[in-house]
A = this chain, B = another copy of it.
Amino acid sequence: MNLREVGLRDGLQLEAPIPLAAKLDILDAVAATGVRRVEVTSFVSPAAVPALADAEQLAAELGRWPDLAFSALVAGRGGARRAVAAGMADLEYVISASDGHSLANARRTTDEAVAAVPDIAKLAHDSGGRLEAILAVAWDCPFDGRTAVSRIVDLARRAVDLGADELCFGDTIGTTVPGRVTELLGRVREACPDVELGVHFHNTRGSGLACVLAALQAGITKIDASAGGLGGCPFAPGASGNIATEEVVYLLEESGVDTGVDLGKVLEAAAVVERAVGHELPSNLFRAGGPNRPRGRG
């Protein structure tokens, strides 16, 4: 098991901006959990994502946590150049698998996004880092409907051929279910047998943890999650967070899978996150008060 904490990027991106010091507090709390990979920010337009406008300043502080492996999300060549200039080596590059989402999100087609992979891979590699291609709307697109499995398999193969070192599959709108996870990952595994694969689920419709289990059963161990389930729309708390790190840790540890993560410390980290954003987080486990507090009677 190889969890990645994504609260500082995917969790915060729609929140009102919080001070840099609050992000450093969150990193201190995350570092104490045993999670070793952190998606720390994205290098995108500060006007589009004001909550992450301090990407350079945050990147400058990361030497404080030598045990953590940080990655940053980029949406194109410009962001990748900013990221490596700021000292980031491991980059995540988002490719929307549907033209509808790609055009809405990044004003380019999927093919145009793929065409940038070699340049971004070179930037990462020249900095001593790796490039992870994140295939967004890997199961469903809010504009174009279902994403064909064959389209994802083709995209995955092309991204790898063009220089991506790893792949991640994003259930961007939180619609997939375990059977579809199994199918897609199995097909990708055949096409890209030697590439590390990861998954990024949202719990929008409640199936997030079931999808994590399906991914594990398919041999995938790189899982994105955020402490407290931070993410989604802050004006509808609970509706659409990332899967919660503590719920993944609970599920896996209770299932006999060693995560290397301290559940109590993740709950402490979620409390730090909740104070930082100033509103309730959606994680059921966090809101229930921890793994052992009795609840329910029937």
Contact = CB atoms under 8 A, between A and B. Distances in A.
Contact of A295 (B6, B94, B233, B251): B233
A256 interface: yes
Interface in A98-147: 105, 136, 142
A259 to B, nearest CB: 13
A287 B210 contact: no
A11 to B, nearest CB: 9
A51 interface: no
B287 A10 contact: no
A33 interface: no
A203 B284 contact: yes
A227 B199 CA distance: 29
Contacts of A219: none
Interface stretch (A151-159, A173-181, A189-197, A268-276): A173-181
Contacts of A250: 177, 205-207
A297 interface: yes
Interface residues of A, number: 61
Given A172-B297, A207-B209, A250-B206, A236 B288 contact: yes
A41 interface: no
Nearest to A145: B292
A74 to B, nearest CB: 12
Contacts of A71: none
A235 to B, nearest CB: 11
Of A6, A203, A208, which is in contact with the most chain B CB atoms at under 10 Å from its CB?
A203
Contact of A210 (B6, B213, B283, B288): B213
A177 B251 contact: yes
Nearest to A178: B213
Interface in A40-60: none
A238 B238 contact: yes
A222 interface: no
A176 B291 CA distance: 11
Nearest to A141: B294
6 contacts: A94-B298, A174-B288, A205-B251, A205-B285, A205-B291, A239-B289
Given A204-B285, A239-B287, 4 more contacts: A6-B298, A173-B295, A205-B251, A239-B289
